Structure 1
């Protein structure tokens, strides 16, 4: 198969001159690598499917390859994605949602629920798939979610960002204009879309997602759920002044609001498949514990495949080093 490196623009720099251009190239490269890993596709297979050399794919995934639109289109097609999925300037991957506000306001909670039954994440030999992180603001979901996704090579999807993309409004405005009932239905619809269309991802959820039973059931049906928690004192220190805890300072009322929310939601969070307490732990310590949880939850019959994937990545990394030398 003829390689399509002639579509590259050799006269242009491989790396942007500005720091923001470098960050963008890294973002595109990470998307290509994450999607390839999500599909279990070796770089050689992607090269054969797209007509782009392995060496150039390695450069692209490292963030040093500046692909033309034609090359990026061929790569996206080989990955079963759209070119805009790879080239978007947004940090988080978006998913399509189809229900608008008019429909959501007219639907009852049961009508808004997903109709397709989804198999439980860790039964019947289901492979490692979607991992949902739940917990109050300040527990560490955002930091650990991005770190975990990068470590295991899958996308990190922030459910609040999907709600904002679907609505065209910030979460606070959705709540203010349409009310919590519509927000919860939109939250459930976005989660249903992720579960139905994204086979492997780390999903960062809002702290109140557990308050809606049908959304909670959907999450447990389609995801491995991990509760990220911390002591009330540490949660308060981390969340103070945020939108979730708008009262600044060390006022007793603000602390009481947080402790009441924790008391209300603890029995619901406790339904999670696993729990990690981040109190007094560094990010590296918490991530190591999180990775051990994920590894322990991996179905046994997939261990051979996981080892094979790891060996493939090691071989690819070795080829990268040889190409660079």
Structure 2
């Protein structure tokens, strides 16, 4: 980005003054050793001078910097920044390569997603696999639905009945934000429909390593009924068709997850082992 001339000269002037004062050199002394007039140095430091390369080349050595340091466009070039630039200029190729690798690692670490989140329809195994994985990794397991109920002080059915769907979704996001505020790692199992709320889902994708626990519609239905919940079959004669349609409509959203595990084809222990390896934890 090109800076306006007056802004650029102000940056240079401020930098010259800061470096001069940092070294305890008076304006008069800098004038004597650089053979640049004291009046011109005053104009330069006030941002009103228009320095030539010759002027800067006369001043820079006495401030123990290069011309490049003086004309750097970065307005907030601190002493640490200048020292680092000097170190880079004096480094050999091997050192530069090492530093580049270390900086890349730090950038990756800063972007690392600190939590693990399971997404998918009911009956995918989010709770079962999540609890076993949490035990393996020695980190907390959070059922987002339970966290919502804690915030509301009532169960999910009551929330929908008394406060409505929009309030439930608002509390869902608040509960998720509360979970993600913690710097400690955790495993979070979220409701199957959370992916339909862009704000909540984008937050989840940005802050969590997301895992879609995938299963066939038949497997979803069988597991839910096996847990003692007969509502899917009793609420509609077309329950299986409805379930297939719901799954089909959400596939594109679920596929945005970082990983996918087909729990129709793997056991709970196999799923936990797979994720543990991804987390650099040796299975046992």
Normalised to the residue count of structure 2, the TM-score between the two structures is 0.57
Larger Rg: 2
SS in 2 for 1:179: helix
**Corresponding residue number in structure 2 for 1:150:** 135
**Corresponding residue number in structure 2 for 1:277:** 262
- Corresponding position: 1:204 with 2:161: no
**Corresponding residue number in structure 1 for 2:109:** 125
**Corresponding residue number in structure 2 for 1:135:** 120
Aligned-partner Cα distance in 2 for 1:217–1:251: 32
Native 8 Å contact 1:128 1:200 kept in 2: no
Call closer, same or farther: CA 1:197–1:177 in 2, change over 3 Å. same
Native 8 Å contact 1:276 1:290 kept in 2: no
Call closer, same or farther: CA 1:257–1:245 in 2, change over 3 Å. farther
- Corresponding position: 1:182 with 2:170: no
Call closer, same or farther: CA 1:222–1:194 in 2, change over 3 Å. same
Cα deviation, residue 216, structure 1: 0.4
SS in 2 for 1:247: helix
- Corresponding position: 1:264 with 2:240: no
Aligned-partner Cα distance in 2 for 1:274–1:224: 8
Cα deviation, residue 252, structure 1: 5.3
SS in 1 for 2:121: coil
Call closer, same or farther: CA 1:185–1:251 in 2, change over 3 Å. closer
Cα deviation, residue 123, structure 1: 6.6
Native 8 Å contact 1:210 1:216 kept in 2: yes
Normalised to the residue count of structure 1, the TM-score between the two structures is 0.50
Native 8 Å contact 2:180 2:207 kept in 1: yes
**Corresponding residue number in structure 2 for 1:233:** 218
Number of equivalences: 177
Native 8 Å contact 1:137 1:244 kept in 2: no
Q: How does 1:49-198 map to 2 (within 5 A)?
A: 124-126=108-110, 127=112, 129-198=114-183
Call closer, same or farther: CA 1:273–1:185 in 2, change over 3 Å. same
Q: Which stretch shifts more, 123-132 or 201-210?
A: 123-132
Aligned-partner Cα distance in 1 for 2:132–2:207: 21
SS in 2 for 1:272: coil
Cα deviation, residue 136, structure 1: 0.4
Aligned-partner Cα distance in 2 for 1:214–1:134: 15
1:289 counterpart (274, 278, 281): 274
Call closer, same or farther: CA 1:228–1:247 in 2, change over 3 Å. closer
**Corresponding residue number in structure 2 for 1:13:** none
Native 8 Å contact 2:120 2:212 kept in 1: yes
Tell me which stretches of 4 or more aligned residues in structure 1 moved more than 6 Å. 241-245
Contiguous gaps of at least 5 residues in structure 1: 1-121, 296-305, 308-325
Native 8 Å contact 1:231 1:279 kept in 2: yes
Native 8 Å contact 1:131 1:225 kept in 2: yes
Call closer, same or farther: CA 1:143–1:123 in 2, change over 3 Å. farther
